[in-house]
Structure 1
Amino acid sequence: MKCLYFLSPSLSCTQDVSDDLHQVGVSDFYLHVISRDESGLKKQHIHSSNYLETLDVVRDGFIGAALGFIVGLIGIGLLMYFRPFGADVQVPTFVYVILVGAATLFGAWEGGLTGIATENKKLTRFHDDIAGGKYLVLVYVRKHQEEVVRRMMKERHPDAELVAVDSHFINPFSKVARVAEPAQAQPQVKSTTV
């Protein structure tokens, strides 16, 4: 599944895009619009984005969980090395597993709280456009739908610009791929050997 990112200049254009995408078989579940005008989206019955798309909860949660796991392992290593309960006290293995699990969950929780306060890293390059009043339309398409959606958008909505393609939006660590510009014809230079 791919996510196609289109920048739409106005609410009416976004409404038309949404209607036409529904006609070619894209349901609301696979269509999300990010805008600073959430009330305008609601009035027009346009499916807006969710917090997983606009905030960095998932990415920062994974980072926090990884850091918590590492801290948990370091803590267990220190417990095993210093033996604060005495050399002859045997700590069962499940206690170590519980400690690492608790540290991992605490790290995920802290990371998620950090992620709530930050914008999704994939959307930072579109921040100025969204703040300027444009609408970022995210369309999730399967392989067989991609060409139909691209063709329809090119024919009916040339003002809605395709700005990026992502393999899948949920992967928090991938970067958004830029749309390749059409290659300009390069003059061919023939090399001559003497």
Structure 2
Amino acid sequence: MRRIYFLAPDIKTTHKIVDELRREGIEDRHIHILAKRDTPLEDLPEASVLQKTDFLPALERGIVLGGSAGLLAGLAGLSYAGFVIAGGPILGIIIAGATIGSLMGGLAGMNSGNSRLHQFEAAIENGELLVLIDIPLDRIGEITEKIGKHHPTAEFEGIEPILPLKY
């Protein structure tokens, strides 16, 4: 799956784009709309916390950093213990560190906006709507062409290389 981005000039155009995507068989769970705060989206699928924030990248960083810190803590404990401890306690410390790190990283990521979407902030504040569409790689050309042909005021803004999760 890939995520493609379109900027639509207004809510009316966005409704038409979403209706066309639905006719093409794209489910609402693969369509995400970002708009200026307090914009009534009516029946449009609003972007969730996962799209609006850096939750997943921060979660991944937290796991790595927490696991590394747990490993260092386990090794430091070994040096002070003066004898060799079986792998179980060290593994437990690594897992505990990764768990705590992922929780802290995820919470920190929820408090910051999605870094991939910063380039669209000015357009969204000016009333445009950002349409994010998750589609299979082999349909990108087809969908992009249809939206461009039927909605010339919508601007194609690019493709996100790879989605982190399949949802």
Question: After the TM superposition, which residues 32-181 of structure 1 pair with which residues of structure 2 at under 5 Å, given as runs?
Answer: 32-37=32-37, 40-41=40-41, 43=42, 45-83=43-81, 87=82, 91-170=85-164
Q: Which position in structure 1 is the counterpart of 2:27?
A: 27
Report SS of the residue matched to 1:49. Answer: coil
Q: Give SS of 1:40's match.
A: coil
Unaligned runs of 5+ in 2: none
Conserved 8 A contact 2:78-2:85: no
**Higher deviation after alignment, 92-101 or 142-151:** 142-151
Structure 1 runs not aligned, ≥5 long? 172-194
In 1, the alpha carbon distance for the partners of 2:78 and 2:123 equals 54
Q: Which residue of 2 aligns with 1:7?
A: 7
Counterpart CA distance in 2 for 1:68 and 1:140 is 31
Which TM-score applies when normalising by structure 2? 0.91
For 1:20 and 1:119, how far apart are their aligned partners in 2? Answer: 29
Please list the CA deviations of residues 144-186 of structure 1 after superposition, one character each: whole Å capped at 9, or x if unmatched. Answer: 3222211211111010100111123337xxxxxxxxxxxxxxx
Which runs of structure 1 show a deviation greater than 3 angstroms over 4 or more consecutive aligned residues? none
Whole-angstrom distance in 1 between the partners of 2:149 and 2:52: 29
Aligned-CA RMSD value:
1.7
Corresponding residue of 1:183:
none
Report the Cα distance in structure 1 between the residues aligned to 2:66 and 2:117, rounded to whole angstroms. Answer: 27
The amino acid across from 2:77 in the alignment is: L
Aligned residues: 165
1:31–1:47: 8 Å Cα contact kept in structure 2? yes
What displacement does 1:124 show? 1.2
Q: Distance in 2 between matches of 1:51 and 1:170?
A: 14
Is the radius of gyration larger for structure 1 or structure 2? 1
What is the TM-score of this pair, normalised by structure 1? 0.79
